[in-house]
Amino acid sequence: MPIIAAVGQICSTSSMAHNLRQCRQLIQKASSAGAKALFLPEASDYIASNAAATVSLCEPVEKSEFVIGLQQDAQTYKLPIHVGVHEPTEDGKKVKNTLLWIDENGKIAHRYQKLHLFDVEIKDGPILKESNSVEKGKRIEDPFSTALGKVGSLICFDLRFPEPSLALRNRGAQIITYPSAFTVPTGKAHWETLLRARAIETQSYVIAAAQVGFHNEEKTRRSYGHSMIVDPWGKVVAELGGEEDEKGRGLDVGEIALAELDLDQLEKVRREVPLLRRTDVYPEML
């Protein structure tokens, strides 16, 4: 029986109170639409203008007004929330780029720390060094059970590497997530292509909640948007607008998109097009 998933799109700033208000509006929309879970972007709690501010704004989740607010709403609406936040490292010198699964009782039931950091210099485009302020994760976390199916968590730049998603598929994932804050140049070039590729090669649903628009008054940081849900056949079944939108949509800040996830259809795809890997020739992704 199909179950509804909601993917949300926001424009985070350095104000956690502002960002929490955006997310709470999406929670209400997702609950009213009958969704069984809401997927929010990477860094939903805040996006700072520089590395120093990224570290200084960070708080443990048990003290974060943003996380506490989401926990309260998850419990109130009985709606699980998948959300990207920052957590401090043990030495306090950097942060962790983390994904949380907040269950319908408001409890943090799962964590994942981003493996691959976004260190790029695009000619005539953005120069971003995530490693200046972020500690890279150390492992792929096992998929976890939800009302939607088994979810495997990945974040943003992880999308460019097929190995983690293949490992998650081998561990039983039916849904793979990529909450993101893609830049406009890389988003326009690769976002949909990579999301569809990860869905096709793992025969899984891919859910990618995205940041969109300018994140500060100086307009030094801008995200692509186009939050998306892709089915196991590679079809885009839900999408919001964003920068460089050829379909004439707006930025869709503070909006959700909905899709029915059908695990029977997923199993049909896997059964009818079995991916029999030649692990006698190349290694299995575990």
| Domains, the chain, with CATH or none | 3-272 (3.60.110.10)
**Residues 106-140: tens digit of each pLDDT:** 999 999 999 999 998 877 766 789 999 999 999 99
Query: Minimal CA–CA distance to 54: which of 22, 13, 18?
Result: 13
List the end-to-end C-alpha distance of the chain, in Å, as a whole number.
Answer: 30
Catalytic, out of 11, 42, 130, 239:
42
Active site residue 156: yes
User: For residue range 182-201, what is the model confidence (pLDDT) as tens digits?
Assistant: 999 999 999 999 999 999 99
Strand partners, 98: 85, 113
More confident: 121 or 103: 103
Burial group, residue 227, by CB count within 10 angstroms (0-12, 13-18, 19+) = buried
pLDDT at 95 over 90: yes
| Backbone φ, ψ for residue 18 (5° rounding) | -60, -45
CA neighbor of 80 nearest in space, from 31, 44, 47, 46: 31
Given 11, 23, 58, 156, the catalytic residue? 156
Distances (CA, A) of 233 to 13, 146, 148, 165, 266: 35, 21, 18, 16, 8
Percent of the chain whose predicted confidence (pLDDT) is above 70: 99
Model pLDDT, residue 24: 98
Mean per-residue pLDDT, 68-75: 98
- H-type helices in 110-242, by residue range? 162-170, 184-202
Q: What tokens were used for 163?
A: 């190995």
Tens digit of each residue's pLDDT (9 = 90 or more) over 151-174: 999 999 999 999 999 999 999 999
- Per DSSP bridges, beta strands 134-135 and 3-9 are unpaired
Q: Specify whether the CB–CB gap between 213 and 183 falls below 8 A.
A: no
Between CA 205 and CA 113 the distance in angstroms is 21
> Of the listed 94, 96, 114, 150, which one is catalytic?
114
Instruction: Please answer whether residues 96 and 138 qualify as being in contact, where contact means their C-beta atoms are separated by less than 8 angstroms.
Output: no
Nearest one of 243, 209, 252 to 125, comparing CA atoms: 243
CA distance 151 to 176: 6
**DSSP single-letter state for residue 137:** P
Token pair 């939050």: residue: 227
* Distance from C-alpha of 159 to C-alpha of 87, rounded to nearest angstrom: 21
Active site residue 114: yes
Phi, psi of 103, rounded to the nearest 5 degrees = -80, 180
| Bridge partner residues of 155 (DSSP) | none
pLDDT of residue 126: 66
Beta bridge partners of 100: 83, 111
Whether the Cβ atoms of residue 86 and residue 43 lie closer than 8 Å to each other: yes
Structure letter (DSSP) for residue 104: T
Rounded to the nearest integer, the mean pLDDT of the chain is 96
Residue 41 has pLDDT above 90, yes or no: yes
With CA atoms as reference, report the closest residue to 178 among 10, 120, 164, 186: 164
